[in-house]
Structure 1
Amino acid sequence: MTIHATDHAILDTARRQVLDQGIGLAEEQLVDVLSLPDDALPAALDLAHQVRLKHCGEDVEVEGIVSIKTGGCPEDCHFCSQSGLFDSPVRGVWLDIPELVKAAKETAATGATEFCIVAAVRGPDIKLMNQVRFAINRIRQEVDINIACSLGMLTQEQVDQLAGWGVHRYNHNLETARSFFPQVVTTHTYEERLATCAMVKDAGMELCCGALIGMGETLGQRAELAAQLAALDPHEVPLNFLNPRPGTPLEHQEIMDGKDALRAIVAFRLAMPRTVLRYAGGRELALGDLGTREGLLGGINAVIVGNYLTTLGRPATADLNLLVELNMPIKELQKTL
């Protein structure tokens, strides 16, 4: 296997800038990384893994997610089968408090430190906020686990309420680059998403802000998204790969090539050397078992175990066993006083 001089130069620059100095790559540099040939991919993955170990440590954070309200969302995110505007097989379902507590217990039993309550809404109404408050109280009584939420766009009052209830992390994804966003969502703007992200950070909650790649964006737009996320400086970035869902406008989009997915993992790690980079939806489809292993050795340092919101994931035991095989310790729950 021969790596060309130009590819060597790209990786050597990244090594000096990101690994040695801890400075993330800029947008134009990320385009170069995303354009690396297959022959250079093993070296790129190795560099991203070194960056992860140096700047994040060896621990892997494990999280489970559950949907308190599924389906019937009024927004038109073209990738999402939970939109009520599309002819999708997903139908509206609410979980009650005992079901949420049971899910939290099952999540904690895997060794996970994070349990995220998710709702398919534009933003929460009073009913949903009350349901979340009661769920948080009950879970705290019975389960020792961090609680996160993903409830769409928030008002300042709602941000303050969630922070006051002890939600330590809030998820609100950018999903794609600003320049590509209007082709994916038309019922709200990029700026509205950014506004919620800013309020969450200002309130002292950790911000989880993710990406969904493989929707037809260009490599340049993929690099643009990584740079925009780096500028936002979230605590965590879930990296999703499109799983085309029946009934959505993107149902016929081709599944992302596995090597392109691995190049994206490298690029996002080199853009954000200190950020928690989490395997999320679609990795099973884009990467398979072998690619999942390569990503964990290429910059990923967190995983969602079990199923996702509307799609099946790998069994939790498969991921946990893989972490043991790779000698990667699971991050322990951090006690807060």
Structure 2
Amino acid sequence: METNKIKQLQEFGQRIWLDFLDRNLIRSGQLKKLIEEDGVRGMTSNPAIFEKAISSSNDYDQQIGQLAAIHQDNEAIFYQLAITDIQNAADLFNPIFARDEDGYVSLEVSPHLAHDTNGTIKQAVELWRKVDRKNVMIKIPATTAGLSAIRRTISEGLNINITLLFGLDRYEEVTEAYLSGLEDRVAVGLPIDHIASVASFFLSRIDVLIDPILEEKGEPQMKGEVAIACAKQAYQIYKRVFSSDRFMKLQAMGAMPQRVLWASTGTKDPSFPDTKYVEALIGPETINTIPMETLKAYRDHGHPASRLEHDLDKADQTLQQLKLIGINLQNIASQLEDEGIEKFNKPYDQLLKAIEDKKGPVIA
């Protein structure tokens, strides 16, 4: 029998997480099958995923009806729905978590808190306590306000998935927040050997924004190259930071590296291969969270091989060329961050409306 190509990626040090979650996936046994047969090692969720799950099925209707008698606040109802799914998924992944550093399931704070440090900290801690699973990560965006929240929640002992990360400079700040959070915890005599974190780079959105600009500037040969070049540079930053003397001191006390996670890895340009952002970024100590369609595509026609550190000179040249033609990656990252927050705010508001519509006839 041919070796499963998703499972093969583990041979190169990369773990595949699923960027999808709904109640039917868990109840039907499909998630268990993905874990056992494909070697899926974790799961991520976001407001858009939950909006689709809740509004497009009746799987949540009964629980919405039960909660409507208790909660008048639609956000409280949503998070209880989400927590139920997250707990059930985390339980399925728990055997993996018990064996190694994987098996995590991620739940995101409200996107409306993206620029609210204190609000983010408060909700992150509340969600962490309510979910009550050691193999859960709370997702916090890599905004300026988010950086302080990341440091604080790490110091509080939470597992954190840093989301909406687009730029290399901001990634450096994210690693600083993680290390500082660990150091804050050490300073008050608390253990750090159980804290896990990932830094999630959103990739395809970079190319979606930059590629039309490259066309306008007469550089079509660079299309589809920038996001991968950024990811390769980010991995070099990861290797430097997490082999530094500063981290070695923390590692001696049990600290785990904050792994890089490739997100937004479904191909949005139909002219590109549907496995583009998986094939190019296979490498040790990395995670790729992929939508179901990309997982199926890679299972069918992927070509597992370690490529993350191939053509590093080309990646550097690509980023240097951007500067020469007047494209500022920091500005691009800022724009993508703003757009990313809005792209989560909209489905978040839609899912709250869907809950309102579903509970209306129940409590009438």
TM-score, length of structure 2 as denominator length: 0.40
The structure whose residues are more often helix, as a share, is 2
Larger Rg: 2
TM-score, length of structure 1 as denominator length: 0.43
